[in-house]
Chain A
Amino acid sequence: MKKQDFEAIEKRQKTIRNFSIIAHIDHGKSTLADRILEKTKSITAREMKAQLLDSMDLERERGITIKLNAVEIKYDHHDGNTYIFHLIDTPGHVDFTYEVSRSLAECEGALLVVDAAQGIEAQTLANVYLAIDNDLEIIPVINKIDLPSANVDKVKKDIEDVIGLDASEAVLASAKDGIGIEEILDQVIEKIPAPTGDPREPLKALIFDSIYDPYRGVIPSIRVVEGTISKGETIKMFSSGKTYEVTEVGVTTPKQVPRDYLGPGDVGYLVASIKNVENVRVGDTIINADNPAKKPLPGYRTLTPMVFCGLFPIDSNKYNDLREALERLKLNDAALTFEPENSQALGFGYRTGFLGMLHMEIIQERLEREFNIDLIATAPSVIYHVHLENGEMKVIDNPADMPEPQYIDKIEEPYVDATIMCPKEYVGNIMELCQSKRGHFKNMTYLGDVRVELSYDLPLLEIVYDFFDKLKSSSKGYASLDYEFKGYKESRLVKMDILINNEIVDALSVIVHRDFAFHRGKAITEKLKDIIPRHMFEVPIQAALNNKIIARSTVRAMRKNVLSKCYGGDVSRKKKLLEKQKKGKKRMKSVGSVEVPQEAFLSVLAIDEE
């Protein structure tokens, strides 16, 4: 590259602003991102779909962001310059802290969006601290000021007291009504520094995401930190050592737009006919093969999965499809782990590890929707430390692998540090809930006059089970939960087997606390009774501890299932009915001679114990 080219790159670099938006679910982050895109005329009204940055159907339906997205925006400022913004969206849920830390590493600044009516939530706090850890410039934005219940002064005070940020220049905004958007953009330009990095240095670019395109291969999303990258160059993955020839570089606007080169501070994508998903590891550094940088950029800390479940294709022919799909998802979700699992009841599948329950749900839904694989998911489990009589310690993430009780000395289960924030009127309910979930009370702090922060030690197992749903229902949805792994603790745990038609179904086994076993057994057998369809014979359902039956229910025999009417003209419609019946069967798994529907395997969860 020539001298004047480098000068042009450096000039351009001064106009770049990289920032993300930190907000709690529902506090209006995606709407704000949409408004910014509109305001900067990045997209025409016709292109505007509600919540554009959230491009996955699933995200749009649930109104949350799962994967991070990055777009380039051009903004003509009234100082006469045109600025280049890279807006990097971040997820707002506890399960996706990993994604958040990734997106924050790409930025020099962040907008902290706080709902003017609801104030700061636990999750927002966690992400703000992450941003502060990353030395980001934070611009507070108080959103939804149009709401009648908005209390701007209180939220400002919260920001100053709880986070310790100066809120005097906080932008007052209503993303919904387009208020305050221009001021946000002005502050981004004034307060957030332009990215550093020298275009003359050897290339260092961080892979922070990637997508798979069936025609163009794996397309990594990158941020260039040092040097430049352009079409025709040969690049090298620092950790795998694989080299590729770059066939295209560009930016996302949110459409992919090719560009001649990407320089320091640029956030974009590259195409290099990368076939193998495994060679593009998120967090890896891309360097120039002909002029290689000596050291990689600091990668990401990898999060370890805390929740495990078995995923089995209903159609056993789709086992390989499932593996490929999991590999694809792992491409930009390093927290996802999987290894083959074989179940007597469900056949071949994968024991899959997740960061938490939402992460698990999202992955399952994506497998079904994007990859068209009908799945059976077993109830989620945590990792147990099982100490045997002989002194050996086994790490068990699958109840089916639990050793026989006579060999077990003790079982330890993971505990978390749980932080719950709620309005003070729900404190009683929530303390009661935590008590019933084997929680140990640690601390209670008043945050201002109305909000309370509770801290508890809680078994992760209980959180995985139904704690979150119960928390929401006992606080009318106002409480928020954040948790962090604490350590292992001995508990009186037992494995409970479920028998269908007198056969143990390994995929239904669960680990429960001894004191809850009877109650849970009864609830599970009752629930299964309603889920398993009636067969031509009676189907007993039993719960057993150590081969002793502790609860039982019965699916009564179905005595008749005949199509009544079938005249000539009716043949086609009766066929349709039979097709429907067959389709329903496809979503079932045969366990012995019993057809068990998909949802049965999750029935051990979400049991209403009232």
Chain B
Amino acid sequence: MMESLYIHIPFCEKICTYCDFAKEVDSQVKKEKYVHALIKELSMHREKLSELQTIFIGGGTPSVLTISQLTTLGNALHKVIKMYNIKEFTIECNPSDINEEKALKLIDIGVNRISLGVQTFNDNHLNFLNRTHRLKDIESAVSILRKVGFRNISVDLLFGLPNQNMAELRDDVRRVLAMNVEHISYYNLILEEGTKLYNLVQNGEVDLLDNDIEANMYEWIITTLSKQQFDHYEISNFAKPNYEGYHNVLIWKDADYLGIGVGAHSKYNNTRYANTSRLKYYMESIENNAFPKYETYPYEPMRDYLLNGLRLREGIDLNSFKHRFGQSVFTFYPGFESLVNSGLLAIDNQRLYLTHQGLMYGNTIFGML
């Protein structure tokens, strides 16, 4: 049974320099049709939704939906989902999209957690990233959200931006701490093919940050946030006590989830599915009452278990692993012994987890899987 539902909204007011998710510049007509397609796709999966615990609306930019579109979507969710069972209902928002009316509407449809796409507080960098908001929009968004009653706000930030320096990073960290939010996701900017940034870098117009500076930034973030009661519970995620992102934690712990919308991924029946990432094909298949599946991936239980589980700082339980897969993780991956010896992995209380050093070299470890 599905524990989590992900809904993808591919529309954005502007396209960010670094983004390679399924997205496109929004248009009212398309959004309207898309919301109806989502509702139809949702009803096609109706029987899977009875045990749902979390909902996550991501994008793109879900906050570009209008009040009436949010209402339509909300009503549909209430029809097929027992909303009183939902522990966490998150929506990603752009600071510049938040106004009191919209914030109230979100509460109205059952949203109880906001993931705010701040990225940085520095207006120059925001401009380079082609974000629609500026520093003042962030401050106003948070105060509106608090005012209407949101008790669980997460902020998404990026570090390792081209030309970003340590002083700017420290300023970002200081500002996010001052906002007193419950949760912070702090991602390292990753260069993805097919983005504007990728072209800029290829053409030599923009240089990526040096690995040393990125490492310094990451360490600074971990140290500083940890001092301020933030628990570093996953490679890129920090939470005040009891405010871990439940939706993602479920997924990292290998729960089944359903993704609807263009480019959304799902995992159930021991299979991974991906919807088509082309909006046109998505709309056509929904119109024809067909699942808009584009590809399926084999579900690799052990590899996925470790790839996900080791991202969490608590790591994996060695006994549960053995129970599930029949043998010790060291039997399957003899190389792990040397990782433990060299201090990248540690064992404590029958749990295998990444050390601080292991965090820095995650790919070395994941690459062995």
Contact = CB atoms under 8 A, between A and B. Distances in A.
Interface of A: 534, 536, 556, 558-572, 574-575, 578, 581-582, 585
Interface residues of B, number: 37
B188 A562 contact: yes
Interface stretch (B23-31, B93-101, B124-132, B354-362): B354-362
B214 interface: yes
A571 B259 contact: no
Given A558-B211, A562-B235, A569 B363 contact: no
A283 to B, nearest CB: 50
B82 to A, nearest CB: 22
A305 to B, nearest CB: 40
Given A559-B212, A560-B361, A564-B190, A571 B304 contact: yes
A564 B265 contact: no
A581 B6 CA distance: 29
Q: Which 7 A-B pairs have the closest CB atoms?
A: A562-B362, A569-B265, A559-B215, A568-B251, A564-B188, A560-B215, A561-B363
Contacts of A574: 307, 366
A270 B292 CA distance: 56
Of A536, A566, A568, A575, most B-chain CB atoms within 10 Å:
A568
Contacts of B241: none
Given A559-B215, A578-B369, A567 B248 contact: yes
B364 A536 contact: yes
A558 B363 CA distance: 12
Contacts of B265: 568-572
B308 A563 contact: no
Interface of B: 4, 6, 187-190, 211-212, 214-215, 218, 235-236, 248, 251, 257, 259, 264-265, 267, 272, 274, 297, 303-304, 307-308, 311, 359-364, 366-367, 369
B211 A563 contact: no
B362 to A, nearest CB: 3
B272 A571 contact: yes
A414 to B, nearest CB: 42
A581 B363 contact: yes
Given A569-B259, A572-B265, A563 B366 contact: yes
Contacts of B257: 568
Given A560-B218, A562-B188, A562-B359, A569 B297 contact: no
Given A534-B211, A571-B307, A565 B367 contact: no
A512 B108 CA distance: 79
A215 B6 CA distance: 54
A27 B363 CA distance: 52
Nearest to B236: A564
Contact of A569 (B190, B264, B307, B364): B264
Nearest to B257: A568
A561 B359 CA distance: 9
Given A562-B188, A568-B267, A572-B272, 15 more contacts: A534-B211, A536-B361, A556-B212, A559-B212, A560-B211, A561-B360, A562-B235, A563-B366, A566-B311, A567-B251, A571-B307, A572-B297, A578-B367, A578-B369, A581-B363
Contacts of B359: 562
A574 B367 CA distance: 11
A74 to B, nearest CB: 52
A382 to B, nearest CB: 38
Given A534-B211, A571-B307, A571-B308, A561 B6 contact: no
Contacts of B187: 564-565
Contacts of B308: 566, 571
A563 B363 contact: yes
A578 B274 contact: no
Contacts of B307: 566, 571, 574-575
